[in-house]
């Protein structure tokens, strides 16, 4: 009898052990390392629009930080001065850039500046090009995300012809679209 009980206990122990093992293998992909759904970095390669005779290109990186997102990179081929810079709703390039839709705005807010507490999630303000037409991008953000309603993966990144005035509705009167990128998952 005693031996049978011991065998039964061993059986239960094995089942518990296997369950624990099963839970572990299911949890593992959440840790990242190439698998699973935890994205930590995205990349957007700006492609010049053709209807505008644009030469604007560049690569912008989005990196998850403890406080939100760090956005950085370089854009070339601009006219000197400020140019509107936004995440748009759709990650689609077209000859005039219009297929990228309006500003990414999941919270149904009004258009505003990047530092405004109420803004389109996609409102990143302006980039500023130097005399040679090069703009360095380096900003921190606490609204852009790689998950949930504010997820920017698969959406568009747009550089405009003119400066975003940061107040005109619905898009800051920034004029034509000189380059459009698709924000995609990058190698971490």
C-beta of 160: minimal distance to Cu ion in Å? 5
- Exactly one of 103, 114, 155, 177 binds Zn ion (CB under 5 A); that residue is 103
Nearer residue to Zn ion within complex by CB, 57 or 103: 103
12: which 2 tokens? 């239960």
- Work out whether 129 is an interface residue with Cu ion (CB under 5 A): no
Task: Say which DSSP state 89 is in.
Answer: S
How is residue 98 written in tokens?
């219009």
| Of residues 18-77, those binding Zn ion (CB under 5 A) | none
Selected binder of Zn ion within 64, 120, 155, 177 (CB under 5 A): 120
Count of beta carbons in the 10 Å neighbourhood of residue 89: 17
Binding string to Cu ion for residues 66 to 105, with x set by CB under 5 A, is what? --------------------x-------------------
- Rounded Cα gap, residues 129 and 132, in angstroms: 7
Chain centroid, CA 44 distance in Å: 8
Contact between 109 and 119 under an 8 Å Cβ cutoff? The reply is yes
State both tokens at 156.
């568009």
**Between 123 and 141, whose beta carbon lies closer to Zn ion?**
123
The partner in contact with residue 83, picked from Cu ion, Zn ion, none with C-beta cut-offs of 5 to 8 angstroms by kind, is none
123: contact with Zn ion by CB under 5 A: yes
Q: Kindly report the number of other CB atoms within 10 A of residue 182's CB atom.
A: 20
Q: Tell the residue number behind the tokens 């403890």, with chain if given.
A: 66
| One of 69, 127, 144, 158 touching Cu ion (CB under 5 A) | 158
Residue 158 touches which of Cu ion, Zn ion, none (Cβ within 5-8 Å per kind): Cu ion
Q: How far is the CB of 184 from Cu ion (least distance, A)?
A: 18
Q: Are 152 and 87 in contact (CB under 8 A)?
A: yes
- Partner whose binding site includes residue 111, from Zn ion, Cu ion, none (CB under 5 to 8 Å by kind): Zn ion
Min dist CB 100 to Cu ion, Å, is 8
Burial class of 54 by CB neighbour count within 10 A (0 to 12, 13 to 18, 19+): buried
Residues that bind Cu ion (CB under 5 A): 86, 158
């Amino acid at each position: 009898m005693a031996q049978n009980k011991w065998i039964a206990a061993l059986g239960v122990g094995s089942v518990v052990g296997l369950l624990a093992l099963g839970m572990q293998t299911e949890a593992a992909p959440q840790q990242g390392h190439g698998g699973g759904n935890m994205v930590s970095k995205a990349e957007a390669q700006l492609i010049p629009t053709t209807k505008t005779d644009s030469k604007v290109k560049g690569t912008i990186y989005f990196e998850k930080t403890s406080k939100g997102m760090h956005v950085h990179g370089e854009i070339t081929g601009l006219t000197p001065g400020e140019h509107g810079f936004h995440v748009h709703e759709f990650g689609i390039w077209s000859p005039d850039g219009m297929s990228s839709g309006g500003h990414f705005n999941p919270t149904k807010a009004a258009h505003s500046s990047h530092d405004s507490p109420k803004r389109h999630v996609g409102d990143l303000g302006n980039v500023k090009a130097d005399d040679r037409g090069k703009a360095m991008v380096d900003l921190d953000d606490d609204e852009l995300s790689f998950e949930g309603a504010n997820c920017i993966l698969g959406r568009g990144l747009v550089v405009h012809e003119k400066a975003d005035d940061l107040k005109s509705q619905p898009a800051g009167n920034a004029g034509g679209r000189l380059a459009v990128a698709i924000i995609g998952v990058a190698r971490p």
